């Protein structure tokens, strides 16, 4: 039996190789490796895809978060309400700008921020609410938005895993005041290296992100009016992303079809909780994540049959030593802590053969008994 990987970027490349080679060749011929035309076009096209007015391409998703936080003027003494059931970058960005992440628990059905927990976490120091659309499933942006409005706070989406996800008919990237994306290679829209973007319909805000991402520049090249950094996206990555963006909707549909195939094949498997879309949500199905108490045993069972799986994430970030300044301790977030012991992501990518979905589901069922 062929081994099944978590993602297969070679299979994806095989589908688009001529388009990629044409795009890369064009950039090479232009030698406009930084600030080339493809960067501006990608910003336009991806913002349009999200339904946002503006986009600023940056070096990676972690920078997107950090730059957005800086563009809000968030720093020492400020608090950001966010979740711990996420990749470390969400909390890291908050600490890196000198602010404090205040973690709230998640809703176990969607793995995303529990809107009912947000209000109690807000203090006079709170500056921002930062939900994460984990595994491609959008957070409940209506309920979170209502709390935010009551307190006059902006909402920044961590949409790193949610390219094309929808909440009530609108896409991630246009659901809050602004949104941060990662284009890490394995994402639904992935570069051939690191890349990221901030989207927003607030032109001044995106202009501030752009300024900070390019050494705090002014109108003239050697005006440095605010303290910035270098977080530009290079043109080769932008050219790759523009090719892939043309396929994103179709690829997300292929992910959906595989998620549905898993759901049909695993329905009723004893002791296994399947991921479902909440009413109003359309997941981008970045990951297909099941839950079960004997997670590690299932992972070993699959591995013995040549089937990859992954634990996203084995430790909620409030318990990571690197997050110690945020002051989290075991027991603070019971749902996030339990999920970290129970979640297992099965292979899910557009090129995954449906026969492999059936084989993986069969192996999971055999384990479940």
Ligand X SMILES: Cc1ncc(COP(=O)(O)O)c(C=O)c1O
Element (H, E) at 10: helix 9-30
The residue whose Cβ lies closest to ligand X is 61
- Choosing from 194, 234, 254, 337, the residue that interacts with ligand X (CB under 6 A) is 194
Q: Which of 36, 52, 56, 60 binds ligand X (CB under 6 A)?
A: 60
Find the part of the chain contacting ligand X (CB under 6 A) among 35-43, 57-65, 206-214, 215-223: 57-65
In the bound state with ligand X, the residue whose beta carbon lies nearer, of 62 and 289, is: 62
Nearest residue to 290 (alpha-carbon basis) of 252, 335, 339, 352: 339
User: For residue 285, which of 130, 109, 164 has the smallest C-alpha distance?
Assistant: 164
Does 112 bind ligand X (CB under 6 A)? Our answer is no
Find the Cα–Cα–Cα–Cα dihedral 53, 56, 60, 66, rounded to 10°: -90
**Residue 52 vs 191, nearer CB to ligand X:** 191
Question: Which DSSP category does 68 fall into?
Answer: H
- Out of 43, 107, 158, 337, the residue judged to bind ligand X by CB under 6 A: 158
**Minimum distance from residue 179 beta carbon to ligand X (Å):** 11
Among 196, 316, 328, 350, binds ligand X (CB under 6 A): 196
* Beta carbon nearer to ligand X, 184 or 262: 184
Choice from 160, 240, 292, 317 touching ligand X (CB under 6 A): 160
Instruction: Indicate the helix (H) or strand (E) that contains 281.
Output: strand 281-282
161 touches ligand X (CB under 6 A): yes
- Whole-angstrom distance, CA of residue 301 vs CA of residue 53: 47
Number of residues in contact with ligand X, rule: CB under 6 A?
15
Separation CA 33–CA 355 (nearest Å): 42
| Residue 182 binds ligand X, judged by CB under 6 A | yes
Give the Cα separation of 219 and 217 in Å (integer).
7
* Interface with ligand X (CB under 6 A), residue from 87, 251, 262, 313: 87
**Residue number, 87 or 367, with CB nearest to ligand X:** 87
CB distance 336 to 101 below 8 Å: no
Q: Report 130-149 residues binding ligand X (CB under 6 A).
A: 132
Cis check for the bond before 143: say yes or no (omega within 30 of 0): no
- Measured CA to CA, the distance from residue 26 to residue 24 in angstroms comes to 5
Q: Which residues, other chains included, contact 181 with Cβ-Cβ below 8 Å and sequence gap of 6+?
A: 46, 61, 64, 159, 160, 163, 173, 189, 196, 197, 198, 199
The residue range among 38-46, 136-144, 153-161, 345-353 that interacts with ligand X, by the rule CB under 6 A, is 153-161
Q: Which is nearer to ligand X, 197 or 206 (CB)?
A: 197
**Binding residues for ligand X (CB under 6 A):** 60-62, 86-87, 89-90, 132, 158, 160-161, 182, 184, 194, 196
């Amino acid at each position: 039996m062929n081994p099944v990987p978590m993602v297969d970027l070679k299979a994806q490349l095989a589908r688009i190789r001529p388009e990629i080679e044409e795009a890369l060749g064009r950039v090479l011929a232009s030698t406009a490796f930084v600030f080339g035309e493809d960067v501006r076009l990608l910003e336009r096209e991806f913002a349009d895809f999200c339904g946002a007015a503006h986009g600023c391409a940056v070096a990676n998703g972690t920078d997107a978060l950090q730059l957005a936080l800086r563009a809000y003027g968030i720093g020492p003494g400020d608090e950001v309400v966010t979740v711990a059931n996420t990749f470390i970058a969400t909390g890291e960005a908050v600490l890196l700008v000198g602010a404090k992440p205040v973690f709230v628990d998640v809703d176990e059905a969607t793995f995303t921020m529990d809107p009912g927990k947000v209000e109690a976490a807000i203090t006079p120091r709170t500056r921002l609410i930062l939900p994460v659309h984990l595994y491609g499933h959008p957070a409940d942006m209506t309920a979170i938005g209502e709390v935010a409005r009551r307190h006059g706070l902006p909402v920044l989406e961590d949409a790193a895993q949610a390219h094309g996800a929808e909440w009530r008919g609108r896409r991630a990237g246009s659901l809050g005041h602004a949104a941060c994306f990662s284009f890490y290679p394995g994402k639904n829209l992935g570069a051939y290296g690191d890349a990221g973007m901030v989207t927003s319909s607030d032109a001044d805000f995106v202009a501030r992100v752009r300024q900070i991402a390019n050494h705090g520049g002014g109108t003239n090249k050697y005006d440095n009016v605010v303290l910035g950094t270098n977080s530009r996206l290079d043109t080769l990555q932008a050219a790759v992303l523009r090719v892939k963006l043309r396929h994103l909707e179709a690829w997300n549909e292929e992910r959906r079809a595989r998620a549905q195939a898993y759901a049909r094949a695993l329905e009723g498997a004893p002791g296994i909780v399947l991921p479902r879309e909440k009413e109003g949500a359309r997941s981008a199905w970045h990951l297909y994540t099941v839950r079960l108490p004997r997670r590690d045993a299932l992972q070993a069972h699959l591995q013995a049959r040549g089937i990859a799986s992954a634990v996203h994430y084995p430790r909620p970030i409030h318990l990571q030593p690197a997050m110690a300044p945020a002051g989290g301790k075991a027991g603070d977030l019971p749902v996030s802590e339990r999920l970290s012991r129970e979640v297992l992501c099965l292979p899910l990518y557009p090129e995954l053969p449906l026969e492999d979905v059936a084989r993986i589901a069969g192996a999971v069922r055999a384990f479940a008994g």
